[in-house]
Amino acid sequence: MEIEREAPGGERGRSWRAEQDVQDGKKFEDGDETLVKEPAWKRFLSHVGPGFMVSLAYLDPGNLETDLQAGANHRYELLWVILIGLIFALIIQSLAANLGVVTGKHLAEICKSEYPKPVMICLWLLAEVAVIAADIPEVIGTAFAFYLLFRIPVWIGVLITGSSTLLLLGLQRYGVRKLEFLISMLVFVMAACFFGELSIVKPPAKEVLKGLFIPKLKGNGATGDAIALLGALVMPHNLFLHSALVLSRKTPSSVRGIKDACGFFLYESGFALFVALLINIAVISVSGTVCFGENLSAEDIDKCSDLSLDNSSFLLKNVLGRSSSIVYGVALLASGQSSTITGTYAGQYIMQV
């Protein structure tokens, strides 16, 4: 038996109930009516973009270097760390996106409104330090890419990176969708480059899958390398960026409109982070396959023992040929330049509050 709760106050209650019905009907007309008319796939495409921008934080030069070292030291045994880390990243990023959709404010604005001024200042300083800490390896990684491709000195590459970042950030004047499109293209350039490397070295699929789904911490320094891989995936500024980027989409104020928007951003972020996972797997697999090869020279073995962004390309060139080294340089350039853009963009939202 259904029990209907009586609205307060007799005639006043009936008037109150009628007013609520009018408001609910207006909300339906303003939000859900549009949702019914527009196909779901079209609404989903209108929400694509923010996930790819935040996914670049998990593909920056710092991540690539830890991937290279993990593969060189432990082959495929630490792939499971990347999988677990990106699963947690998806959960946290989806919460940040939901925060922006539901409240209509990004994380920095909410911190300002919810906390007293001393706490707010501390949070602001920590957020700015996080942005700076993330930007440093991104800028240096991009400078290394310029050196590998054009033999430009690293300090000049740093200046070029800073100038190009400010120039490309100017695209937001023509709408944030233009910037999101550029970033998405850079993600797919990276994917094409690293998958091209992967197709050359052809790692054993069975061993890769074992490393991805069977956790192991064997060998000298495995725990330290696993912590380094996990630490490289910690990107606090991404939460500020994701909660701000979702505000560029028009979300109906109805419950259904908000739920649909949260779902679309979850699916889009899931796909973008899945691409990031595949790229990280490709980097570790290439490094692990090459450094554990049977016909390595003594010089190549020494390089494998201390891989970094600037010398790993020479290893790939010696083992796989010059064209592979060029492909690596292009991928590193796309990684560094795009992640520098998104890191600076996140800092802009934090600074403006």
First to last CA, the chain: 52
Q: What average pLDDT score do residues 269-297 get?
A: 89
Global pTM value: 0.84
Q: Name the more confident of 306 and 35.
A: 306
Q: What is the DSSP string of 145-177?
A: HHHHHH---HHHHHHHHHHHHHHHHGGGGG-HH
What's the CATH superfamily of 41-352? Amino acid/polyamine transporter I (1.20.1740.10)
Give the single-character DSSP code of 7.
P
Percent of the chain with pLDDT over 90: 37
pLDDT digits (tens, 9 = 90+) for 162-209: 998 888 888 777 777 888 888 888 888 888 888 887 888 889 999 999
The pLDDT mean for the chain works out to 83
pLDDT category at 323 given cuts 50, 70, 90 is low
Q: What is the DSSP string of 81-93?
A: HHHHHHHHHHHHH
Q: Name the more confident of 308 and 53.
A: 53
Q: What average pLDDT score do residues 283-296 get?
A: 85
**Over 70: is that where the pLDDT of 318 sits?**
no
Amino acid identity at 234: V
Q: What average pLDDT score do residues 196-223 get?
A: 88
Q: What average pLDDT score do residues 156-160 get?
A: 93
- In this structure, are residues 171 and 179 in contact, taking their beta carbons and an 8 Å threshold? yes
- The alpha carbon of 272 is separated from its chain's Cα centroid by a whole number of angstroms, namely 7
pLDDT category at 292 given cuts 50, 70, 90 is confident
Q: Name the more confident of 331 and 86.
A: 86
- Count of residues making up the chain: 353
- In this structure, are residues 201 and 290 in contact, taking their beta carbons and an 8 Å threshold? yes
pLDDT category at 2 given cuts 50, 70, 90 is very low
- In this structure, are residues 267 and 59 in contact, taking their beta carbons and an 8 Å threshold? no
Q: What average pLDDT score do residues 208-220 get?
A: 91
pLDDT category at 225 given cuts 50, 70, 90 is very high
Q: What residues contact 66, with CB distance under 8 A and at least 6 apart? A: 225, 228, 229, 232
CA distances from 92 to 96, 98, 233, 299 (A): 6, 10, 12, 43
